[in-house]
Amino acid sequence: MHDALSRRDWLNRQLAGGTGLLGALAWPGTGTAAALHPSGQREHVLRYAFPTAETGFDPAQISDIYSRTVTANLFEALYEYDHLARPFLLRPCLAEAMPEMADGHTRYTIRLRRGVHFQDDAAFAATGGKGREVTAEDWIYTFKRLYDPALKSPSQPNFEELGIIGLRELRDAAIRDKRALDPDAPVPGLVALDRYTLQFRLREPRPRFIYSMAAPDIWGVMAREVVERYGDKIMEHPVGTGPFRLASWRRSSQIVLERNPTYREVVYDARPAPDDAEGQALLARLKGRRLPLLERIDIAIIEESQPRWLAFLAGEQDLLQIVPPEFIAQAIPGGQLAPHLAKRGIEARRVPAADVYYQVFNMEHPVVGGLAPERVALRRAIALGYDIDREIALVRRGEAIAAQGMTVPGTFGYDATLRTPATGHDLSRARALLDLYGWRDRDGDGWREQPDGQPFTLEMLSQSDQTTRAMDELLKKTLDALGIRLELKIGQWAENLKAARTGRFMMWRVGSSASTPDGQSALERAYGGSIGKANLSRMKLPAFDALYERLQGLPDGPERQALFREANKLAVAYMPYRMTVHRILCDLAQPGVVGYRRPVCWLDWWKHVDVSRSA
């Protein structure tokens, strides 16, 4: 960064930064990111846009999907998902092999790959700034750090679900004694047997423990020297072992990653070969190539959907992940790529998403919450009154399917044959249910009162984007027809999430994507032990909690699948969430984008993608 620049290097940097004439012609915030070789070929640069700003790049401190998308490509985990395999295939990453399991899924021994180094950084003073080798002690430090009370890691509660013996006690002692967590204190369930061997001991069986070891975005390995050097600035100084490193960052505007020059030799292969034609075709183009394929990734933050769409049409973005609903008719009318886009060589990939959207009811709120029959009746009446088919047709432009329960497509526990009352739409039944349980209009003003005669208004957190506004309008029409007032409280998504996690809300609408190929995490949204974390509804139902805990210890199979059905039916009956849709997503790629395939639940896919076409 401090070397003298040649004239061509200087020009390339001006082009990449969006300055000068080409920058003036770009959409605001996108930059051109089109650094060119003298031959006119792009230098393997992926230009890409996030619709929401990032928060930072310390895996232990982030929770938003866009920051996590970046950290997943800066850091690495013990295991990773094969980029092309569907539905999924786990394989070693920083581990040398798959884990050795013992004692009924309560003991896991993992041997590390040798010769893996952190990227070069001034924090490694002992080696003159050269990144040192990763050892088992680095993993122990990384996982202990999640439990530091001062850090308030949003991912610590999920890690605690693994039940590693001693970590909870380490945190509790620090809180009790009002002192900093001791990273050198021994933890019986997290031990380095030698420099390259890590062993976990768990309180209870966790047959799917390994899934949690494949999350580089939030649990990627970190070096203690780096954390101690940068302190409260660590969000700005990510130092991992991954294929890319952070080159520059303009907060909420532009993130630039570049190939990690010290990344180890990694050649792509697939074991076994993908079963489907698309996977096989991609394998033929990727097999034997050294990763990462890209030299740089230029990420713009473009929050409004129209300029993001227009930037892609203008060729200023190489990949558009998720065509905004309002442009579906222009991009994929009738589910087929529009002829004018196909003529330009643009490719479309349309797949069911492993996600679900839902309206959250605060189960601790005195009006909409609780398990009393009249409160359950209110929530179910709101659900009956809302027309999901209309949302799919008008808001989603046909690109969604109705959700029957909490679990999502592409994960174990999802049952495409399950049918519940979740998708029913019947205004007459909804009105009758409200009348039966005392939600009546007593003063004749057209609006219902509570069963005790008190007036009431539903309050819903919301955002100002076009899709959310359209769904708000549909909900308001539903509630108007039922004689129920609705007040919308518009705010930023991050602010609404904070309010929901602390229970300071009545209702909210939000979506969630799978983070593992197992449906357990979807059910966590109604698990009493996760109130204030994944359980935004603050639901506490002993019968549901018992099912959830049984599911954790069972291996995959018919018995576990049956329990998923039971848990989904309970959730629909008590309605802490009104599940609405699973989206069908369409991604568009410019000509020359090679290797892209939408992942089911993982985020570390950039190293498999290349862009090689004439400017």
What are 68-111's pLDDT values in tens digits?
999 999 999 999 999 999 889 999 999 999 999 999 999 999 99
Confidence of residue 522 (pLDDT cuts 50, 70, 90): very high
Is 306 a domain residue? no
Is 2 a domain residue? no
Does pLDDT of 503 surpass 80?
yes
- Encode 500-532: b = buried (16+ Cβ within 10 Å), e = exposed: bbebebbbbbbebbbbbbbbbbbbbbbbeebbe
Verify that 274 and 360 share a domain, yes or no: no
Verify that 77 and 170 share a domain, yes or no: yes
Query: CA 575 to CA 552: how far, in whole Å?
Result: 23
- What is the per-residue pLDDT for 10? 26
Q: What is the pLDDT of residues 107-153, one digit of tens each?
A: 999 999 999 999 999 999 999 999 999 999 999 999 999 999 999 99
Phi and psi at residue 518, to the nearest 5°: -120, 145
| One-letter identity of residue 420 | T
Verify that 278 and 369 share a domain, yes or no: no
Is 133 a domain residue? yes
- What's 148's domain CATH number? 3.40.190.10
Does pLDDT of 364 surpass 80?
yes
For the segment 335-352, the average pLDDT, to the nearest whole number, is 95
Length of the chain equals 615
- What domain range includes position 496? 355-584
Is 180 a domain residue? yes
Nearest Cα neighbor of 431 from 473, 378, 471, 477 is: 378
Neighbours of 549 (CB within 10 A): 12
- Which tokens is 515 given? 């983070």
Verify that 155 and 269 share a domain, yes or no: yes
Instruction: Give the total number of structural domains in the chain.
Output: 2
Q: What is the pLDDT of residues 285-307, one digit of tens each?
A: 888 999 999 999 999 999 899 99
> Is the Cα dihedral 509, 515, 518, 520 positive or negative?
negative
Query: CA 78 to CA 93: how far, in whole Å?
Result: 5
Is 239 a domain residue? yes
Q: Using alpha carbons, list the distances in angstroms from residue 479 to 132, 385, 386, 508, 575.
A: 61, 7, 8, 15, 17
Paired sense of beta strands 577-579 and 581-589, if any: unpaired
Is 81 a domain residue? yes
Verify that 106 and 254 share a domain, yes or no: yes
Query: CA 278 to CA 228: how far, in whole Å?
Result: 46
Verify that 281 and 386 share a domain, yes or no: no
Is 330 a domain residue? no
Q: What is the pLDDT of residues 199-233, one digit of tens each?
A: 999 999 999 999 999 999 999 999 999 999 999 99
Query: CA 376 to CA 370: how far, in whole Å?
Result: 7
Does pLDDT of 8 surpass 60?
no
Neighbours of 229 (CB within 10 A): 17
- What is the per-residue pLDDT for 18? 34
Verify that 251 and 373 share a domain, yes or no: no
- What's 552's domain CATH number? 3.10.105.10
Q: What is the CA radius of gyration of the chain?
A: 25
Verify that 374 and 257 share a domain, yes or no: no
* Among candidate residues 262, 286, 310, the one where a domain is terminated: 286
* Among candidate residues 286, 301, 328, the one where a domain is terminated: 286
Is 604 a domain residue? no
Task: Identify the H or E element spanning 100.
Answer: strand 100-102
pTM reported for the whole predicted model: 0.86
By mean pLDDT, which of 122-136, 237-251, 421-435 is the weakest?
421-435
How much is the mean pLDDT over the chain?
Answer: 90
Query: CA 439 to CA 564: how far, in whole Å?
Result: 33
* Among candidate residues 286, 310, 325, the one where a domain is terminated: 286
Report yes or no: 463 and 491 within 8 Å, Cβ to Cβ.
yes
